[in-house]
Structures are given as C-alpha cells and as structure tokens.
Amino acid sequence: MDTAAAGTEVLLERAMRRALELARLGPSGGPNPQVGCVLLGPDGDVLAEGWHRGAGTPHAEADALAKVPEGAAAGATAVVTLEPCDHTGRTGPCSVALIDAGVARVVVAQPDPNPLAAGGAERLRAAGVAVEIGVLGDEAAALNERWATALRLGRPWVTAKWASSLDGRIAAADGSSRWITGPAARADVHRRRAEHGAILVGSGTVLTDDPALTARDGDALLPHQPRPVVVGLREPAPDAAVRAHPEPLLRVRSHDPAAALEAIADTGATSAFLEGGPTLLSAFLAADLVDEVLVYLAPTLLGGDRLATLDLGVPTIGAQRRLTIREVHRLGDDLLVVAHPDHREA
C-alpha cells in the first residue's frame, strides 16, 4: 500500500470511529438502529456530523447534510456506520438524499440487515457513487447487536440481570436484598437499564420490593428511560413507585414470557431488561428467551434458599444450559459477568 492510500485508510477509520461515537448519542432499544455519519470534504476536512435521534427524526445522513449549505456536499465522502437506507417511511431514503447532494463516495461500516430498508448501496452504485463496505464493521455490528437480533428473531432482545452473593443467593433469609452489591455495580445497572427499550419484572416483585424501575445517575433520571413492564395477574398498588415512572406502565396480565415479549414489541421496543424475580426470570430462561445474562457477584455469603433461579427444566447434567462468557468487569468490590447462551454464539 502506498503512502497516500495508507493515509486515506487512516483518515476513513478515524472518521468511522467518530461516526460510531455519534451513533451512540442516539437512543437504543427502540425500533431503529443507532447510526452516525461524518461528511468529509475532498481535502479530508470534516464538513458536518450527524446522528439519528429516534423514530420519526432525520436519519444520520440527512442530519449531517442539513448542516451544510446547498451544494457544499458535492464531491464529499459520507462515512456512515450503517448502509444508507433505500426505504421511504416517516422519512425519505438516505440513498437518494446522498445522490441528490452530489456525494461522490460513501464508506459504510455494516450492511443493513433489514430487508425493508436495505438496497442503498446498490442504488448509490447505480448512480455512479463509489461505495465501500466493511470499515470497522465488527464495531458497528456490536453497536446494534440487540436491534439486529430482534430483527432476526422477530421479538425483543432480552437481557436478564441479577445480583447475588458468591454462594448464589439474591437475598437474606428474611427477603432483604438492599444492598448486596456496592455503588459502582448499582450505577452500572442503571446505565445498562437506559440502553434498553423496556424493563420488566413480575407482579410479585413489584408487591414485595416496590421498585421504581427507572434509570438514574444518583438521584437524577438519565435522559433515556426504559418503559416499565409488569408481568403477572396481581395488580401493583395504587401508590406503587412504578406508577410514577416517566414512561407509561405496560401491564401484561399473563405468566407467559412470549406474551410479554409480544406486548413489548407492540410498543416499538427492540430490547428488554429483565430484572426478575426468580419466577419470571426462570420462566424466560426455561423458555429459551434470554439473549444475554448479567450477573453481579458480591464478595459475601448469605446461605439459605433465596436463589436467583428456580427450576429450569434441567433433569441431568447433560441438559445443562451452557453460557459463553463475553466479558468480566471489576466494579468496586464486585464482579460483573456478561454471558450469552452458547447457541447465540453459533
């Protein structure tokens, strides 16, 4: 590779990393992927940046193009984390917007897995625009893994979370559980809640623990709040904390995990943060409807029978539900283990 080509490759990778940063500014867990765009002039200078702010708002490419004067994008390179859409919905196709703006080159991290929106690269090439796909593709795929999985499976991605002692207990003998883990672990939970479109618990947990189900930074609410979902036949009390949630409460009057996910999908959410308790958590695990497991382990021992999970339908060791550990983090005195079911890794 000659010096000029190497320099261009570095420039495009740098721009794509910035586009990924911009994408993360947009909401996650909703019906749309997180997408960022950087417009580069012919000399490599940044002309504009854009990102998608949620359903019904301009897509990342349109957001960036709107920030430059008419005609200023002629001959530019658009660096985008996801293939420009070729679909007309609440907004027009980004492929056409780029062509109309006179963009000469489009560099894409990841092809669009949505068959309803894909085809932008083909339209761009047909119009004479150079298209390159695959720059930082793995990073882009990881960013929208939950959205893409929900698209493929036809149901929201489910992250199941619990905090336990090293001997696997989630509460003391009297049922008290605040707090098993320390402040760093609890802050991490709230950050991850905010990355999902919904947060769900069983009605028994609401009656016992009265959780708010909000995503917070200290006492302040985070900008994005997952929609609270209560699954089960028992009604939350009129003054239950969840009724004060900034997002409307979704009640699923059923014990069926699939019914809960269908109701969540109807709201437009593509990911759900499952907080339990053990009955609901075990139902989702037994039904093979969990895509990610977060286990916060505290350096303490509780004993007793307050376990995170109940019967999972594992009659023999040969039927055990194996997980692949993706990440391990130290959070203060606690450990976080992030794992996925083995078949999700296939």
Query: Was 280 annotated as part of a binding site?
Result: yes
Query: Was 94 annotated as part of a binding site?
Result: yes
Query: Was 193 annotated as part of a binding site?
Result: yes
C-alpha to C-alpha distance for 111 and 78, rounded to whole angstroms: 15
Contact 291, 149 (CB under 8 A): yes
DSSP state of 191: H
Q: Position of tokens 């001997």? A: 167
Query: Was 213 annotated as part of a binding site?
Result: yes
Contact 105, 47 (CB under 8 A): no
CA dihedral 281, 286, 291, 294 (to 10 degrees): 40
Query: Was 281 annotated as part of a binding site?
Result: yes
Query: Was 27 annotated as part of a binding site?
Result: no
Give 38-41's long-range contacts (Cβ < 8 A, gap of 24+): 38/64, 38/78, 38/79, 39/64, 39/65, 39/68, 39/73, 39/76, 39/77, 39/78, 39/79, 39/103, 40/11, 40/15, 40/76, 40/77, 40/78, 40/79, 41/75, 41/76
Query: Was 25 annotated as part of a binding site?
Result: no
Residue among 91, 6, 5 nearest 50 (CA):
91
Evaluated on CA atoms 56, 59, 60, 64, the torsion sign reads: negative
Query: Was 190 annotated as part of a binding site?
Result: no
Query: Was 308 annotated as part of a binding site?
Result: no
Contact 173, 245 (CB under 8 A): no
Query: Was 346 annotated as part of a binding site?
Result: no
DSSP state of 307: B
- Token pair, residue 119, equals 């085809």
Query: Was 137 annotated as part of a binding site?
Result: no
Annotation says 49 is catalytic: no
Query: Was 177 annotated as part of a binding site?
Result: yes
Contact 11, 1 (CB under 8 A): no
Query: Was 145 annotated as part of a binding site?
Result: no
Catalytic residue among 21, 49, 61, 70: 61
Residue 96: Cβ within 10 Å count:
17
Partners of residue 324 on adjacent β-strands = 340
Query: Was 153 annotated as part of a binding site?
Result: no
Contact 117, 86 (CB under 8 A): yes
Query: Was 59 annotated as part of a binding site?
Result: yes
Contact 226, 215 (CB under 8 A): yes
As annotated, the active-site residues are 61
Residue list for the binding site for Zn(2+) = 59, 85, 94
